[in-house]
Amino acid sequence: MKSKSSIARLVRPLVSTVHAYVPGEQPRIKGLIKLNTNENPYPPSPRVIRDVKAAVDGRLRLYPEASALPLREELAKLHGCSPENIVVGNGSDEVLALATRAFVEPAGKTKSSASTIQYFTPSYSLYPVLAAIHGARTNEVSLTSDFDIPELSMLKKSRAWDFGAALTLVTTPNAPGGRGYSTARLEALCRLHKGVVILDEAYVDFAAENAMELALKYPHVIVSRTFSKSYSLCFQRVGYFVGHPDLMAALHKIRDSYNVNGLGQIAAVATLKSLPYYRKNFKLICATRERLTRALTDLGFSIPPSQANFILVRPPKFSPEAWLAKWKEHKILVRWFRSSSVRDYLRITIGTDAEADALIAAARKILG
Ligand SMILES: *Cc1c(COP(=O)(O)O)cnc(C)c1O
């Protein structure tokens, strides 16, 4: 204890050893083309801006709806379920954290599956952080080299995958790989699980299929969604789960009483009342994604098929780190992950068509 400073000793050892999640940079550089955090390039709908502005007055002194009921009612209409099937969070990151606390025992107190959080790699880099914070075990199993989920027969045979894990997280479409998975395959996987399975559909609006029906069919399956990516609302922090009412009730019990801020709730409700506006943007982004993929492929980049609002590219001629720096010189910011499974790649968020053109033009110059 002597070696530790008197302040450091006040922090739990578990917290001292946690490696915090590393968010993408948010530099404030004028004219920067920001393609590093999967933000939507298009603004929220005019109705969202109007309703949020109209709510900014003396009522800010009041607490918001404690359980976000008006928003849950709108979401229930959208998904054909009841508000009891839904819990809303301060971003889906919050509900994911709540799930670790509600469904997973910290390691050491029970047998291993009960304290295991399981996921494929690569996937969302927050999952291991959530496990570390909670003191849970992790079980990581690699996706195939082209970011596909291994065949079920392989998963069963390998015994690396724990079908009894307390919590299994599947990012679908995958991030950062971009690959989408069919509902039929996800259903076959879910059916073999004894613990809770969360299908993290953060990018599903850019995909061919979604698996919402599984959350309403199987009591142990939860679908996670967010307003951040497809609904241009990162700033407001609104995400939610759809699942069995008993699981949702457990999450409601342990969440902060007013976990979703009032303006976020208003923005999310207004979003759901302007869906045609957003659906047009989904189409635009998917079209830009396909065009950018073709152009970069022609320049020698290798790119697995994406069903998300980003592509993962293996660049030619220079290392990913060098490309990151070179694009930055052209005022274009993309993302490079140091972790071994994707360190040969860069992740590029799909921006506007003009941003894609700038990225392609810069790539041509860099290649000479
Ligand atoms: C962005 C993201 C989230 C979280 O989004 P919030 O902004 O917290 O709602 C969850 N899962 C994946 C895979 C993501 O990429």
User: In the prediction, which pLDDT does 340 show?
Assistant: 76
Task: Tell how far the Cα of 81 is from the centroid of ligand 1, in angstroms.
Answer: 23
Categorize the per-residue pLDDT at 158 as very low, low, confident or very high, splitting at 50, 70 and 90.
Answer: confident
Average pLDDT value for the chain: 95
Kindly state the average pLDDT of the residues 44-48. 98
- Cα–Cα distance between 113 and 115 in angstroms, integer? 5
Angle at 143 between CA 138 and CA 145, to 5 degrees: 140
Which of the four pLDDT bands, split at 50, 70 and 90, describes residue 333? very high
Residue 342: pLDDT over 90? yes
Q: Which fold has domain 46-273?
A: Aspartate Aminotransferase; domain 2 (3.40.640)
Q: Ligand 1 center to residue 96 CA distance, Å? A: 9
Query: 149 near 180, Cβ under 8 Å?
Result: no
Q: How far is the CA of 226 from the centre of ligand 1 (A)?
A: 6
- CA proximity to 200, closest of 132, 126, 106: 126
Domains 21-44+276-367 and 46-273 share a fold: no
Please work out, in degrees rounded to the nearest 5, the angle formed at the alpha carbon of residue 107 by the alpha carbons of 7 and 3: 25
How close is the Cα of 9 to the center of ligand 1, in Å? 33
Strand partners, 196: 167
**149 pLDDT more than 90:** yes
**Probe target for ligand 1 pocket from 38, 120, 125, 200, with the most ligand atoms within 8 Å of CB:** 200
For residue 111, how many C-alpha atoms fall within 13 Å in the half-sphere facing its CB? 4
pLDDT of residue 23: 87
Atom of ligand 1 nearest to the CA of 234: 7
User: Sorting pLDDT into bands at 50, 70 and 90, what band is 2?
Assistant: low
Q: What confidence tens digit (pLDDT) does each residue in 168-213 have?
A: 999 999 999 999 999 999 999 999 999 999 999 999 999 999 999 9
- How close is the Cα of 189 to the center of ligand 1, in Å? 22
Question: Residue 364 C-alpha to ligand 1 middle, in angstroms?
Answer: 32
pLDDT given at position 22:
86
Question: What would the pLDDT profile of 263-300 be if each residue is shown by its tens digit?
Answer: 999 999 999 999 999 999 999 999 999 999 999 999 99
- Give the residue whose CA is nearest to atom 5 of ligand 1: 92
Measuring CA to CA, how many Å separate 181 from each of 148, 201, 208, 301?
A: 8, 11, 9, 23
Pairwise CA distance, residues 273 & 1, whole Å? 58
Digit-coded pLDDT (tens) for 73-120: 999 999 999 999 999 999 999 999 999 999 999 987 666 999 999 999
Global pTM value: 0.96
pLDDT tens string 216-246:
999 999 999 999 999 999 999 999 999 999 9
**Residue 3 banded pLDDT, cuts 50, 70, 90:** low
User: From the CA of 208, how far away is ligand 1's center (Å)?
Assistant: 19
| Exposure string over 319-353, b if 16+ CB within 10 A, otherwise e | ebeebbebbeeeebbbbbbeeebbeebbbbbbbee
Percent of the chain with pLDDT strictly greater than 70? 98
| Backbone angles phi and psi of 314, in degrees to 5 | -100, 110
Which residues sit with their C-beta closer than 6 Å to ligand 1? 91-93, 124, 171, 175, 200, 202, 226, 228-229, 234, 239
Q: Give the domain 21-44+276-367 fold.
A: Aspartate Aminotransferase, domain 1 (3.90.1150)
Tell which one of 92, 169, 225 to mutate to probe ligand 1, the residue whose CB is within 8 A of the most ligand atoms.
Answer: 92
Would the pLDDT of 4 be above 70? Answer: no
How many residues in total does the chain contain? 368
For residue 207 the two structure tokens come to 């995909």
Q: Which two three-digit tokens encode residue 29?
A: 């550089």
Mutual orientation of helices 320-329 and 353-367 as an angle, nearest 10°?
A: 110
The residue nearest atom 11 of ligand 1, judged by CA position, is 202
Could you tell me the two tokens for 191? 């059916």
Q: Cα–Cα distance between 132 and 130 in angstroms, integer?
A: 5
SS3 call for 141: strand
Composition of the chain by helix, strand, coil, percent to 5: 45, 15, 40
C-alpha to C-alpha distances, 201 to 96, 212, 219, 312, 350, nearest whole angstrom: 12, 9, 18, 18, 17
| Rounded distance between C-alpha atoms, residue 2 and residue 6, angstroms | 9
Q: What is the pLDDT of residue 173?
A: 98
In this prediction, residue 92 carries a pLDDT of 98
Calpha distance 175→201 (Å, rounded): 10
* CA 32 / ligand 1 centre spacing (Å): 23
Output the six-digit token pair for 189. Answer: 């996987």
Pairing of strands 310-313, 346-349: antiparallel
Please give the number of the atom of ligand 1 that sits closest to the Cα of 226.
9
Is residue 262 a contact partner of residue 64, using CB atoms and an 8 Å limit? yes
Please determine, for residue 336, whether its predicted confidence score (pLDDT) is greater than 70.
yes
Q: Choose the residue to mutate in 22, 40, 88, 93 for probing ligand 1, maximizing ligand atoms within 8 Å of C-beta.
A: 93
> What is the atom index within ligand 1 of the atom nearest the CA of 89?
9
**Which of 326, 329, 299, 331 lies closest to 315, judged by CA?**
299
What ranges do the domains of the chain cover?
A: 21-44+276-367, 46-273
